[in-house]
Amino acid sequence: MSILIDQDTRVIVQGITGRDGSFHTERMLEYGTKIVGGVTPGKGGQEVQGVPVFDTVAEAVAATGANTSVVFVPARFAKDALLEAAEAPLKLVVCITEGIPTLDALIAYEALKAKGIRLIGPNCPGLTSPGKAKVGIMPGHIHKEGRTGVVSRSGTLTYEIVASLTAGGIGQSTCIGIGGDPIIGSRFIDLLPLFEADPETDSVVLIGEIGGQDEVVAANYYQRSMSKTVVAFVAGLTAPPGKRMGHAGALVGGEDETAASKIEKLEAAGIPVARIPSEVPKLLSLAKMGYTHASA
């Protein structure tokens, strides 16, 4: 089983005729994702990789029965693209675009939320349910079908840790990159309950970084409400205060936003934390047996 996407998910690509949109449409189709339409204003009637292009999201959804959109629209047009998606009967919108102004992202998030549409991103790699579908830019070959969920603020670390899990024989149910911007549509606290409720996910890997309190909120939720095994990795142990490290949201604004502080709180809640990414598969295997440290 999986969460959010599966083999029946019907996807439209906003920005399908652009460089990134067309490239990743081909990769998603190769993986087996049902890409049923694309949207580029003024280019309706064309095709990309055999996929019909429409002028508007409303036209695309009406013609194809799509329930999911993935957005590759340039940052200056992304707010309008997301607001257009909010007016369609979609269940999920995945925004890959990075560099969207914070106010634009907030306006779009509120519009989607008001319509009951879940947003993943912006500035994220999307998500993959191995063997079923991928929506976004994750490399498909690193995944393996299995029972471990992955949820991450970092795209590159997602790839590294998923590849390590696969190499260690640990398959994944769904892998989600939530993005690292200050305003994102879905945080750890929004997705952990979905993994907890999924009967075919029995463990979760949480990948965090400096800045904000998302990992601490997740730790509190785990301690209060989760029965499944969770292990974590938090990037940025050597990050200096006040300096942005990669993502716009990866900025230590106070002592409790450091990696060290987050690791302490995660471990206090009973979540083992790997010190390097390659430790995650071993730590997960040990945690399932009741151990809490990779050195056990």
Do 151 and 284 share a structural domain?
yes
- 72 and 162 assigned to the same domain: no
Task: Please check whether residue 57 is in contact with residue 88, taking contact to mean a CB–CB distance below 8 angstroms.
Answer: yes
| Burial tier of 20 (Cβ tally within 10 Å: 0-12, 13-18, 19+) | middle
Domain count, the chain: 2
Whether residue 94 is found in the same domain as residue 197: no
Domain with 238 in it: 139-288
Q: Is 181 found in the same domain as 145?
A: yes
Residue 239, classified by CB atoms within 10 Å of its CB into exposed (0-12), middle (13-18) or buried (19+), is: buried
Same domain, 110 and 162: no
Domain CATH number, residue 284:
3.40.50.261
Domain-located, residue 277: yes
Both 157 and 284 in one domain: the answer is yes
Same domain, 202 and 253: yes
In a shared domain, residues 27 and 167: no
CA dist 259 and 239 (Å) reads 8
SS3 label, residue 38: strand
Cis check for the bond before 122: say yes or no (omega within 30 of 0): yes
In a domain, 190, yes or no: yes
Note the helical H segments in the chain: 19-31, 57-64, 75-86, 102-114, 155-167, 188-197, 214-225, 259-268, 280-288
The answer to whether residue 134 sits within a structural domain is no
Query: Which entry of 24, 141, 143, 247 is annotated as an active-site residue?
Result: 247
Instruction: Let me know if residue 1 belongs to a domain.
Output: no
Task: Judge if 109 and 226 occupy the same domain.
Answer: no
Q: Provide the residue-wise pLDDT of the chain in tens; the chain has 296 residues.
A: 689 999 999 999 999 999 999 999 999 999 999 999 999 999 999 999 999 999 999 999 999 999 999 999 999 999 999 999 999 999 999 999 999 999 999 999 999 999 999 999 999 999 999 999 999 999 999 999 999 999 999 999 999 999 999 999 999 999 999 998 999 999 999 999 999 999 999 999 999 998 889 999 999 999 999 999 999 999 977 656 655 555 554 444 555 778 899 999 999 999 999 999 999 999 999 999 887 654 44
Tell whether 2 is covered by a domain.
no
- Same domain? For 103 and 156 the reply is no
- Same domain for 153 and 14? no
Which of 120, 153, 180 is where one domain is finished?
120
- Name the one residue in this structure whose structure tokens are 């906003």: 14
Residue 227 and residue 107 share a domain: no
> What is the spatial distance between Cα 22 and Cα 140, in angstroms, rounded to a whole number?
17
Taking the whole predicted model, whether its pTM rises above 0.85 is answered as yes
Distance of alpha carbon 4 from alpha carbon 220, whole angstroms:
23
CATH code where residue 19 lies: 3.40.50.720
Is 256 part of a structural domain of the chain?
Answer: yes
Residue 205 inside a domain? The answer is yes
CB 151 within 8 A of CB 174: no
Residue 247 is among the residues annotated as catalytic for this protein: yes
